[in-house]
Amino acid sequence: MTDTAPADNPEDYIRVQLVDDETLIWAGQPDRAAFASSNPFRSVFGRVVLIIGAVMVYMALDAMAVNPRSPGAFGLLFGIVFIIFGGGLALKNFENWWCAPSTYYGVTDKRAIILRVKPWFKIQNFGNHQIAFVASEPYGNEGLGNVLFANEPFGRMRALRAAVGFWGVANPDVAKDSLQLLKDSFEY
């Protein structure tokens, strides 16, 4: 890998991350709206938890104002935890919207890559053995599509595990075919 700053197109950003004899098959960038709406359930669940936390804090502060010896401090602590957890989930859609212009997708002959270069560097690699399925769905009227290929490998709550994929990409059929080729190259 090199540390040179590439030009502003997906292929150049992904090529910087290639190792040894890797070959880039496909590269793209997400549509901002599609990437922001990639997991609406997580956002709604986060808002509900945030509201529950705010109510817990309000009730705890009210109880502690009436009786300083009340166990309202526990409600206050749990409410703060709920607010932090719920707020993080609720803001994930905004984070995706904000980071979409600096997010790049790539498929090589060895892995699928999701790369974010700003505001902080983050790279996710999915080898051919980690691609559980390849599915494509249209998004909008401009020929864009979502290409899904895995579930988040972290988290125990199944409902909060988002689908992993390339959101709102141009030429989704090419991306799907590239991912299917990568998935099929896995030797059992």
pLDDT digit string (tens) for 134-153? Answer: 988 888 778 899 898 887 65
pLDDT digits (tens, 9 = 90+) for 63-101: 999 988 888 889 999 999 999 999 998 888 888 889 999
pLDDT of residue 128: 84
Q: Assign 26 a pLDDT band (cuts: 50, 70, 90).
A: very high
* Among 163, 164, 160, CA closest to 90: 160
Q: Assign 115 a pLDDT band (cuts: 50, 70, 90).
A: very high
User: Cα–Cα distance between 64 and 71 in angstroms, integer?
Assistant: 8
pLDDT of residue 38: 80
* Among 112, 156, 109, CA closest to 134: 112
Phi, psi of 49 (to 5 degrees): -65, -40
Asked if pLDDT for residue 168 goes beyond 60, the answer is yes
Burial class of 23 by CB neighbour count within 10 A (0 to 12, 13 to 18, 19+): exposed
Phi, psi of 94 (to 5 degrees): -65, -40
Asked if pLDDT for residue 5 goes beyond 80, the answer is no
